[in-house]
Amino acid sequence: MRVTITGASGLIGSKLTKALEQRGDEVIPVSLRKDGPIELGDVVVHLAGENVAQRWSDAARERIEQSRVQGTRRVVKAINASAHKPALISSSAVGYYGKHGDERIDEDSPAGDDFLAQVCVAWETEAKQAQSRTVLVRTGVVLDQSGGALSKMLLPFKLGVGGPVAGGKQYMPWIHVDDVVGIYLNAIDDPTWEGPVNATAPEPVTNKEFSRALGRALHRPAVAPIPSFAIQALYGDMAEIVTEGQRAVPRRTLELGYTFRYTDLDEALRSATSQ
């Protein structure tokens, strides 16, 4: 199989590329920063987009939204203009759901109305214009020490000054990076996969529970509370990613037959911090 990947050099893209090549598939990496036609394989995996983990200035908000909207629009235009109409597996995020406190939410839950939720709505709206099978992978907090949220948490925890953030009651919809890759592989291979799927482990945990588990994985205390105002001062409005969270569960992902490799947080963190 020939698989086109945008964002192939990123955290998920690089690991998905490796997994596809190991099983004998051909990967066509595409940079949306370059003009020109997009080479399409049998399936297109669209991962490219501006990094959300930065201070949300007006300019940053514009880059975050437009990189997803315009990039997805360009990918969809190429798919719709092709003769063979490859399937589209498009990245999204659990930020789609907005703020729900401790309410359990799944793929049928409505979109939120905050900045990230509206970005995800616009992003997915563009992807849905594809005239082919389309899967929307709403990803949670990816556990991998080489990138993403976990890489930013490791230093303070290793120094013994890590702990729950903003009271620690907010939920973290975590997922091991190997399961993210596994979900994308299933979405690529199985024609019954269509529509939104949550890339989150079956049981999300609170920030306090996550902090204790990360402390255990690193053999460090995890009792130093980090107040919300400190996170706000450091990250500005982007702090809501850390202080709010979602109790998202992968109902449709499980119904479609995906078997998670990591369902236990302690095991997932031991693996993620030793890779």
- In the chain, where the domains are located: 2-272
Amino acid at 83: A
Q: Tell me, what's the pLDDT at 67?
A: 87
163 within 8 A of 226, measured Cβ to Cβ: yes
Q: Is the pLDDT of residue 78 over 90?
A: yes
Q: Tell me, what's the pLDDT at 6?
A: 96
From residue 35, alpha-carbon distances to 69, 71, 85, 267 in Å are 16, 11, 21, 43
139 within 8 A of 95, measured Cβ to Cβ: no
Which tens digits make up the pLDDT trace of 10-50? 999 999 999 999 999 999 999 998 888 999 999 999 999 88
Report, in angstroms and rounded to the nearest whole number, the Rg of the chain calculated over CA atoms: 18
User: 275 exposed, middle or buried (CB, 10 Å; 0-12, 13-18, 19+)?
Assistant: exposed
Q: Is the pLDDT of residue 7 over 70?
A: yes
Q: Tell me, what's the pLDDT at 163?
A: 74
**Fold for the domain defined by 2-272:** Rossmann fold (3.40.50)
- Better pLDDT: 113 or 129: 129
Which tens digits make up the pLDDT trace of 178-236? 999 999 999 999 999 999 999 999 999 998 998 899 889 988 877 766 666 666 655 56
Q: Tell me, what's the pLDDT at 75?
A: 97
Q: What is the pTM of this model?
A: 0.92
Q: Which residues, listed in sequence order, are joined to residue 87 by a DSSP beta bridge?
A: 43
User: Residue 249 — very low, low, confident or very high, per pLDDT cuts 50/70/90?
Assistant: very high
41: helix, coil or strand?
coil
52 within 8 A of 65, measured Cβ to Cβ: no
On average, the pLDDT of the chain sits at 89
Which tens digits make up the pLDDT trace of 145-158? 887 777 777 777 78
124 within 8 A of 136, measured Cβ to Cβ: yes
Q: Tell me, what's the pLDDT at 99?
A: 87
| 63 torsion bin: left (phi>0), alpha (psi -120 to 50), beta (else) | alpha
The stretch 60-81 carries a mean pLDDT of 93
